[in-house]
Chains A and B, each alone.
Chain A
Amino acid sequence: MNSIGEACNDLKKEYDDCFNSWFSDHFLRGRTNDSLCAPLFKVYQDCVKKAMKQQNIDFEEVKKDLLETPHEKKPQGKS
């Protein structure tokens, strides 16, 4: 599976492979310490965040519950 940043694809693949084996070999066996893939995650993260910025994707917006809150953008004109 690709990353939104083409430059991040290799980093993502490396991290995903690490995560998948951590998930089945550690997490599902009750060992929840996630430091195993942390170094790979950090490098991949830096790359993705940069790519998101370049493509104007604002992930922070989603964390707010948009609809039915004051953050909701009201439709213009009569609805």
Chain B
Amino acid sequence: MKIWTFEHTFNHPWETVATAAWRKYPNPHNPAVIGTDVVERKVVNGVLHTQRLVSSIWYFPKWAQAIIGSAKVCYAAEHSEVNLSTRQMILKTINLTFCRHIAVNETLKYVPHPADPNKTLLKQEAVVTVQGVPLTNYMEDILTNKISTNASKGRQAMEWVINKINEEVQDITRSTDEIFTQTKKSLDDLTSSAKKSMDDISQKAKKSFDDIQQFKMNNNFSEC
């Protein structure tokens, strides 16, 4: 059994990272992941529980294929919990294919950074267990190295997704700004035309009033 752990800080608040985690795939850094499917999902006591099936393509060296089989598409089960009150997102993944000899248990934990709430801490752990095959230790080393490489790609992928989401938000903000400008313009137009009408009305009213006055005056004169 080999245990691999790692910590990484994202310069983004927890909410942003959690949103991005759901949209992690597809990304150019992990082309091996070819599919994700939600198998079960429910909210229990305010905690979002999700079971996903993750499909990926693994490439093994020829010699390993003899032992593991030439598995092309591999499946993994991911169980996750998002707890808003504790601001924790935990994802646990276990491989489904080649379960018999190899077990890869991976845990990702996203929590707000204890020193800075605007940052997010990722705690990552993988436990690799190879059983019942020759060169167990060697195989475990190979897999652990592979996980380490993939993990750094995973972090790059998260940054890529966050960037993409931020761009989308900017687009929304931009269009909201446009709507706001347009609305303000229409309001201005409306105000100015209302003002104009009011001016017209008051001018007309004044004129009518003047006319009445004039008329009254004329009448008075005539009465005199």
Q: Smallest CB-CB separation from B45: which chain A residue? A: A32
Please encode chain B, from 90 to 109, with 1 for each CB lying within 8 Å of some chain A CB and 0 for all others: 00001010011101000000
A70 at the B interface (CB under 8 A): no
A7 at the B interface (CB under 8 A): no
Q: Which of B33, B35, B99 is within 8 Å of A3, CB to CB? A: B35
| Interchain CA distance A56-B178 in the complex, whole Å | 52
Chain B contacts for A4, CB-based, 8 A = 35, 37, 53, 55
User: With contacts A27-B48, A52-B53, A61-B96 known, is A2 near B34, CB below 8 A?
Assistant: yes
B110 at the A interface (CB under 8 A): no
Chain B contacts for A15, CB-based, 8 A = 38
Chain B contacts for A44, CB-based, 8 A = 38
| Interchain CA distance A79-B123 in the complex, whole Å | 34
Q: Smallest CB-CB separation from A73: which chain B residue? A: B100
A66 at the B interface (CB under 8 A): yes
Q: Smallest CB-CB separation from B93: which chain A residue? A: A62
B124 at the A interface (CB under 8 A): no
| Interchain CA distance A67-B98 in the complex, whole Å | 13
B131 at the A interface (CB under 8 A): yes
- How far is the CB of A61 from the nearest CB of chain B, in Å? 7
On whether the beta carbons of B84 and A27 are closer than 8 Å, the reply is: yes
Q: Which of B22, B53, B132 is within 8 Å of A76, CB to CB? A: B132
Q: Smallest CB-CB separation from B96: which chain A residue? A: A62
B46 at the A interface (CB under 8 A): yes
User: With contacts A2-B34, A62-B77 known, is A30 near B84, CB below 8 A?
Assistant: yes
Q: Which of B19, B36, B94 is within 8 Å of A20, CB to CB? A: B19
Q: Which of B18, B37, B96 has the most CB of A within 10 A?
A: B37
Known: A23-B22, A28-B18, A33-B43. 6 other contacts (CB 8 A): A24-B19, A27-B48, A59-B51, A62-B77, A73-B100, A79-B132
Chain B interface residues toward A at CB < 8 A: 15, 18-19, 22-23, 25-26, 33-39, 41-43, 46, 48, 51, 53, 55, 75, 77, 82, 84, 94, 96, 99-101, 103, 129, 131-133
5 closest cross-chain pairs (CB), A and B: A75-B132, A62-B77, A2-B35, A1-B25, A32-B43
Chain A interface residues toward B at CB < 8 A: 1-4, 8, 12, 15, 19-20, 23-24, 27-28, 30, 32-34, 41, 44-45, 48-49, 52, 57-59, 61-63, 66-67, 73-76, 79
7 A/B residue pairs, CB under 8 Å, sorted by A: A3-B35, A4-B55, A32-B43, A34-B41, A49-B39, A66-B99, A75-B132
